Amino acid sequence: MIIDFKAHVMPGMDKACKNRIDTIRRLMAAKEAGVDLIVAAPVYDPDECGVEEFLDRRRQSEDILGSLMNDELPEVMPAAMTKFSERLLTEENLPELCFGNNCFLLNMKGIEWNDTTEAVLRRLTGKLGMNVILTDAGETVLKNSEKLRQLGVHVMLDLDELHHKKQIRAYLPLIGSGLVCAIGSDWASEAPYRFLRKTKKRMDEAFETVMAASAHLLGKRFCYRLIIRDDRQNLQRRLRQRHIPPDIQKGLDLPGVFRAGAELIAAVQPDQR
């Protein structure tokens, strides 16, 4: 399973995705790269608008996105990437921006580690009980990796930070410790997944470790849905290959079959899987 934990595919919500054509083009790029799940993370700036205003715009964008989706494209989970701001010390509606297992993406671009940084993280992870995942974390922030672990904060890396062997070696200890839990695509580029195959090959088992951590953060129920959807796609593909007429395919109770499968998977205890 390949999870892109930070993608900009919400039409009209991102500079890199201004309309439906941009959305389709980027979803197709994800499909061709073998991505199973995209966390759609439009940027929320607390200094520009309130949470409710942002969510209203996101709901409108979700409606457009939903009209473009089909079973051949990667699954999309609506989320948000919040820009760091002192307002996060007082904003009350932040939990509405969470997704998966109470995940909260926090963009740290240009942010230095200081008392305010720590106070914001303590509020998010402590009082609000969030799984905070830092994006665009600079070296200054990463130098405080031990403090981040104590706070229960995680870090997401972009593909362009991981495709060189030297970069991968530098981050392996952070992956092994569980600090790095996700990988996001390089959406500043016209080819956001150009490093994916190389990164996956060079990281080897470390890549699977990060993907497993991402799946855990997104929640079991969502991952079961991905597994069932993948099985459904494979079965439908086999039916087509065997030239089963479409009208007969429609008569098969595939949703019922896979609902039963999902319930069976959900009933299995973690130590039995």
Q: Is the pLDDT confidence value at 270 over 90?
A: no
Ramachandran sector of residue 110 (left: φ over 0; alpha: ψ -120 to 50; beta: rest): left
Q: What mean pLDDT is reported for the chain?
A: 83
- Give the residue from 240, 143, 136, 138 showing the smallest Cα distance to 186: 136
Distance separating alpha carbons of residues 76 and 3, to the nearest angstrom: 10
Q: Do 205 and 170 contact (CB within 8 A), yes or no?
A: no
Where b means 16+ CB within 10 Å and e means fewer, 47-60 reads eeeebeebbebbee
| pLDDT, average across residues 172-198 | 87
Instruction: Pick the more confident residue, 229 or 43.
Output: 43
Distance separating alpha carbons of residues 10 and 40, to the nearest angstrom: 7
| pLDDT, average across residues 17-34 | 91
Stretch among 113-122, 161-170, 249-258 having the lowest mean pLDDT:
249-258
Ramachandran sector of residue 152 (left: φ over 0; alpha: ψ -120 to 50; beta: rest): left
Q: What is the pLDDT, as a whole number, of residue 246?
A: 56
Distance separating alpha carbons of residues 215 and 233, to the nearest angstrom: 20
The pTM of the full predicted model, rounded to 2 decimals, is 0.82
Q: Is the pLDDT confidence value at 238 over 60?
A: no
Tokens of 223: 């991952």
Q: How much of the chain is helix, strand and coil, in % rounded to 5? A: 55, 15, 30
Distance separating alpha carbons of residues 263 and 225, to the nearest angstrom: 11
Q: Do 42 and 14 contact (CB within 8 A), yes or no?
A: yes
Q: What is the pLDDT, as a whole number, of residue 18?
A: 85
Handedness of CA 191, 197, 203, 207 (dihedral sign): positive
Which residues are within 8 A (CB) of 93 and not within 5 positions of it... i.e. 6 or more apart? 50, 51, 52
